[in-house]
Structure 1
Amino acid sequence: MKLIRQHFEKDKSGSTTLIPQDKEDLWELYNLIQKGDEITLSTHRNIKKATLGSGVAQGKDKGKTERKLLTLKMSVEDIEYTPSEEVLRIRGKTVEPNEYVPMQSYHTAEVQLQKQFTLYKDEWDEIAYGIVVKVCSIEEKAEVGAIVMEEGVAHLCLITDNMTVLRNKIEKSIPRKRRGDGGGSKHDQAMEKFYQLVNTTMLRNFDLDKLKAIILASPGFVAANLLKHVLAEAVKNNDKTVMQNKSKFIVVHSSTGYLQGLEESLKDPSIQRQLSTTKFAKEASVFETFQKVLNEDDDRAWYGPTECARAVEMGAVKYLMIADALFRSDDIGVRKHYIALADAVKNNGGETLVFLSLHESGEQLNQLTGIAVLLNYPVPDLDEEDD
């Protein structure tokens, strides 16, 4: 989601102007827009030509219509979302004058991808405001961090499913390495300071716990040397965050230290496989533990919609594993049910992992009804029918 502008009053009323960029943005908007809100958006309408002209021309064209792009402001009365069609429809009455449509007339219009709209609320509560912050934050949506670099230049980026955002650029003059220079040459000293600056900037811009992978790309050995520096500094400073996430770092070769070098690296099939393995390492590890516990049959591992819902209700879930097909179901009721389960798990200190059906562990989860839980403690008889 792209935030264009927003304005809020002291009484918490106000507006925000947004551009949805993918179908998940439409789902978030479905949860954000409520009956009684007002929305301004563009829509096409068939307008009778008789209302456009006068005199002879009016009589000649009477009854004919012309399709025009209008901007309507409506009071929302109904919201309909169809994930499979990537369509969010708003039905309501116009609340501002328009020369082509009467006031208080009913219309249905669509919130479309890559099209701007403005939403007005009498009160923006924490939940509504939180949705906007979440969907507009690259930090919340990014799964991969990347540093593409060469001697003296580094570009720090965050990558989502459909965009790469440059967060920071570092440039530092590096003296040429001269023949016969020892280990303490000006070149080596400058490179050490450069690596230190890149490391500091990375830790300030990347949330290593949230990111599933961090790509270090460069020509030559620059990226590999940066990783050595990062890990050495983590040991020196007892930085547990870096050490716990060191397996997420992937060193790759690129022909340049500029952004086209990152694009080139991401297209390499071997890098895509390695990135996939790293991105889903936690899911695979948790699912492996789940299978082991399930085989031990000690009542800490369960699968199935009813059994998992009961475990969530008891607050016993350490990990809730959901296949993406359930979490992004076309059935709004199903989708809301599983999102409510995920929220309940989070509120009780557990964690929800969404498994992609295209990944191996996701395929295995789908064979077990698409939902499973690993519990904090044994809970017997979750599969028994209630009396």
Structure 2
Amino acid sequence: MKLLDKTIALEKDKSGSLSLIPQDKEDLWQLYNLIQKGDMVELLTVRNVKKTEGGKAERVHVHLKLAVESVDYVPSDEVMRIRGKTVEQNEYVPNQSYHTAEVQLNKKLKINKAEWDDISYGIVLAASSVEKKAEVGAVVLQEGVAHLCLVTDTMTVLRNKIEKAIPRKSRDAGGSAHDKSIAKFLDMVQATVSRNFDFEKLKVIILASPGFTAAALQKAILDAAVKEDNKVILKNKSKLLVVHSSTGYLQGLEEVLKDPLVQKNLNDTKFAREAAVFEDFQRNLNEDDDRAWYGPKEVAKAVELGAVKYLMLTDSLFRSDDIAARKHYIALSEEVKNLGGEVFVFSTLHESGEQLERLTGAAVLLKYPMNLEDDDEDEE
């Protein structure tokens, strides 16, 4: 998503507007979570209009400014529609008339909210930042050149290019100059990787090269992590995926990403963190050890007591037309984060999100066992 401009009074009442351009189907999903009943949306759409009485209808571009009443999104068709009343009159559209407009990819959209809460603003920041949107890091390299990239669902962004002259391997000198240059080159690349890649957030880090250079880089990264006691890299070392490419240039990464085995690995890891947390919750729930709870009252009570390790919510809770309910879950999320817990917002388009939705859409895994049942219910 491309963020064009914003005029939001974050320090005051948090009202204001922003203009953006959705660029892929993931952006449509984010907009579906972002736009709510009561928001003001401006966009360009196409209408069949008769310019003269009795004349033939022509398709013209019409600028609409709508007070949103409903938003529909069909993932399979990759189509999102907004329905509402116009709040301005123009040549082709009377004021206070109902219209349904389709949000189009690569077309400007302006959204005005009476209040931009942390969840709404966070959606925009995450969707418009390559770093926040990317789930895959990649290094494609060969002796003397390396390319560090961030990969999203729709694009590959080159973040760094490292080059170093490598002397040819000489039989007479035993190849020592060559080997030393390779070692320095790999050290430069591993240092750049550790500085620029978020090992906690990225789901996979692909290391691709002809020959054994990628495997040598993996060893250099892990050796440096051990030497520097980098617990983050060591904890996430399983995310390093060594694969073969025909070249160390960007076309080599394109080739690797089309590999069915690599694609399967990426798909398997896309929701790995969320799935692992939900699996942990389900295990504790089955063991009935008083650490796993679900339901609005139980979740609110756990947050109030400061006992939450993981707060799990479905994205549907943040799309509620009930403003008070939305604000309630935003406040719970902020409180959990302030107390050192983690908040996970599950997509209802994914299996874990569907299961959580069936459990009221709100659940917690506690730091320690605690009885959260209502006292009145116990007496009954």
1:68-107 alignment runs, 5 A limit: 68-72=59-63, 74=65, 76-84=66-74, 86-93=79-86, 95=88, 98-101=90-93, 104=95, 106=97
Q: Deviations over 1:89-145 (max 9, x none)?
A: 15343647x54446x463525251314224275988674655432220111121121
Partner of 1:260: 251
- Give the secondary structure class of the aligned counterpart of 1:41: strand
Q: Deviations over 1:136-175 (max 9, x none)?
A: 0111121121111222222222222333322223333322
1:1-387 alignment runs, 5 A limit: 1-3=1-3, 5-6=4-5, 8=7, 16-22=18-24, 24-26=26-28, 28-29=30-31, 39-50=41-52, 62-72=53-63, 74=65, 76-84=66-74, 86-93=79-86, 95=88, 98-101=90-93, 104=95, 106=97, 108-110=99-101, 112-119=103-110, 127=118, 130-182=122-174, 184-185=176-177, 187-283=178-274, 285-287=276-278, 289-290=280-281, 293-294=284-285, 296-303=287-294, 307-308=298-299, 310-312=301-303, 314-321=305-312, 326-327=314-315, 332=320, 340=330, 342=333, 345-353=336-344, 372-382=363-373, 386=377
**Higher Cα radius of gyration:** 1
Percent identity among equivalent residues? 53
AA aligned to 1:237 is E
Q: CA deviation at 1:254?
A: 1.7
Q: Distance in 2 between matches of 1:357 and 1:156?
A: 33
- Note if contact 1:15-1:118 (Cα within 8 Å) is conserved in structure 2: no
For the structure 1 residues 113 and 151, does the alpha-carbon distance in structure 2 shift closer, same or farther, using more than 3 Å as the test? farther
Note the residue ranges of structure 1 that are not aligned, 5 or more in a row.
51-61
Q: Distance in 1 between matches of 2:358 and 2:34?
A: 34
AA aligned to 2:235 is Q
For the structure 1 residues 109 and 365, does the alpha-carbon distance in structure 2 shift closer, same or farther, using more than 3 Å as the test? closer
AA aligned to 2:315 is F
Q: CA deviation at 1:33?
A: 5.3
For the structure 1 residues 319 and 126, does the alpha-carbon distance in structure 2 shift closer, same or farther, using more than 3 Å as the test? closer
Q: CA deviation at 1:203?
A: 2.8
Q: Distance in 1 between matches of 2:41 and 2:355?
A: 43
- Give the secondary structure class of the aligned counterpart of 1:155: strand
Q: CA deviation at 1:192?
A: 2.3
For the structure 1 residues 8 and 84, does the alpha-carbon distance in structure 2 shift closer, same or farther, using more than 3 Å as the test? closer
Q: Deviations over 1:203-234 (max 9, x none)?
A: 33322221122111111111111111112222
Q: Distance in 1 between matches of 2:83 and 2:339?
A: 35
Q: Distance in 2 between matches of 1:385 and 1:270?
A: 55
Q: Distance in 1 between matches of 2:328 and 2:72?
A: 17
Range with bigger deviation, 355-364 or 252-261:
355-364
AA aligned to 1:375 is L
Range with bigger deviation, 307-316 or 152-161:
307-316
AA aligned to 1:20 is P
TM-score (norm 2): 0.76
Note the residue ranges of structure 2 that are not aligned, 5 or more in a row.
none
- Note if contact 1:79-1:88 (Cα within 8 Å) is conserved in structure 2: no
For the structure 1 residues 155 and 339, does the alpha-carbon distance in structure 2 shift closer, same or farther, using more than 3 Å as the test? farther
- Note if contact 1:41-1:111 (Cα within 8 Å) is conserved in structure 2: no
AA aligned to 2:138 is A
- Note if contact 1:147-1:217 (Cα within 8 Å) is conserved in structure 2: yes
Q: Distance in 1 between matches of 2:16 and 2:303?
A: 37
Q: CA deviation at 1:38?
A: 5.8
For the structure 1 residues 6 and 365, does the alpha-carbon distance in structure 2 shift closer, same or farther, using more than 3 Å as the test? closer
Q: Distance in 2 between matches of 1:13 and 1:361?
A: 34
Q: How many residues align?
A: 368
For the structure 1 residues 194 and 124, does the alpha-carbon distance in structure 2 shift closer, same or farther, using more than 3 Å as the test? farther
- Note if contact 2:21-2:106 (Cα within 8 Å) is conserved in structure 1: yes
- Give the secondary structure class of the aligned counterpart of 2:214: helix
- Note if contact 2:312-2:344 (Cα within 8 Å) is conserved in structure 1: yes
Q: CA deviation at 1:377?
A: 1.8
- Note if contact 1:300-1:376 (Cα within 8 Å) is conserved in structure 2: yes
Range with bigger deviation, 206-215 or 343-352:
343-352
For the structure 1 residues 305 and 33, does the alpha-carbon distance in structure 2 shift closer, same or farther, using more than 3 Å as the test? closer
